[in-house]
Amino acid sequence: MAPREIVVRVNGEEYRGSAEPRVTLVDFLRDELGLTGTHVGCEHGVCGACTILMDGRTVRSCLMLAVQAEGHELRTVEGLAPADGPLHPIQEAFSEKHGLQCGFCTPGFLMTVEELLRDDPDPSEETIRSRLSGNICRCTGYQNIVEAVRYAAELTREAAP
């Protein structure tokens, strides 16, 4: 099928690209827009590595077509912290608590946590574990990720006026 022009806003910037209607959103982000921070771990919606925000809510970009994102506002890991600025509190917390090893699952976790802390600035351990249970990490055993989320919540509350 012929490629279609697609216009999306990603991390506050307008991007134009073209893709066949069958191209997944994650392939479009990575291959067409060069935003390779979002990863592909399964392509069947289970691992959460491809998690991004669309209009502020998490979506699995491997389960969406690029054409479905037309006109929407997307946020990816590249948009969490300013390019030359300090890390976002969630990123800072993941580093401080050693919540990442190989880093492959990490972008998906960061975006999931971004949504979680907006919904619940002071989540319990149970809530954290439940909200993270759609993301698979094979390296960390989750313990330091859970700690990182708690620490990120602390940093975020401190930063808030």
Partner 1 sequence: MSETPWVGRSLRRREDERLLRGRGTYVGDVDLPGQLHAVFVRSPFAHAAIGGIDADAALALPGVVAVLTAADVPAGPLPPFLWDTPPEKLVSALRPHLRPCHPPLLADRPLYAGQAVAVVVAESRYVAEDAAELVVIDYDPLPPVATLERALAPDALVVHEGWDDNVAVRFVVAKGDVEGALADAAVVVRERFSTQRQAGIPMETRGAVATWDATGDGLTLWSATQNSHPLRRALSRVSGVPQERIRVIAPDVGGGFGIKGVLYPEDLLVGLLAMRLGRPVKWIEDRLEHMLSAVHAREQVHEIEVGLDAEGRIVAMRDHVLVDTGAYNPLGLVIPYNTIAHLMGPYRVPSFEATAEGVITTKTPTAPYRGAGRPEAVFAVERSLDLAARRLGIDPVELRLRNLVRPEEMAYDVGILYRDGEPLVLDGGDYPEVLRRAAELVGWDDVEIRERNGRLVGRGIGVYVEGTGIGPFEGAVVEVGDDGRVAVRTGACTQGQGHETVFAQVCADHLGVDAGAVDVVTGDTDGLEKGWGTVASRSAVVAGNAVAEAAGIVREQALHAAGELLEIAAADLTLTAGRVVPRDAPDRGVGLGEVARAAREQGSPLASTRYFEPGTVTWANGAHAAVVAVDPETGEVELLRYVVVHDCGREINPMIVDGQVHGGVAQGIGGALYEEILYDEEGQLLNGTLADYLVPTAEEVPVIELDRRETPSPLNALGLRGVGEGGAILPPAAIANAVEDALSGLGAVVRRTPLTPPYVRSLAVPDATHLRSSGEDEILRP
The C-alpha atoms of residue 111 and residue 132 are separated, in whole angstroms, by 11
SS3 42: coil
Map the footprint of ligand FES across residues 97-116, applying CB under 6 A: 100-106
The C-alpha atoms of residue 124 and residue 66 are separated, in whole angstroms, by 35
- Is 66 a binding residue for ligand FES by CB under 6 A? The answer is no
Here the tokens at position 23 are: 């191209």
Instruction: Give the count of alpha carbons within 13 A of 101, CB side only.
Output: 9
Binding-site residue total for ligand FES (CB under 6 A)? 23
DSSP 87: P
DSSP 84: T
- Is 35 a binding residue for ligand FES by CB under 6 A? The answer is no
**In the set 36, 55, 119, 157, which binds partner 1 (CB under 8 A)?**
36
Q: Which is nearer to ligand FES, 34 or 45 (CB)?
A: 45
CB of 54 to ligand FES, least distance (A): 13
Q: Does residue 7 contact residue 16 with C-beta atoms inside 8 Å?
A: yes
Binding residues for ligand FES, rule: CB under 6 A, are: 40-43, 45-50, 60, 62, 100-106, 137-140
Binding residues for partner 1, rule: CB under 8 A, are: 20, 22-23, 27, 30-31, 34-44, 46-47, 49, 76-78, 80-81, 87, 91, 94-96, 98, 100-107, 110, 128-130, 132-146
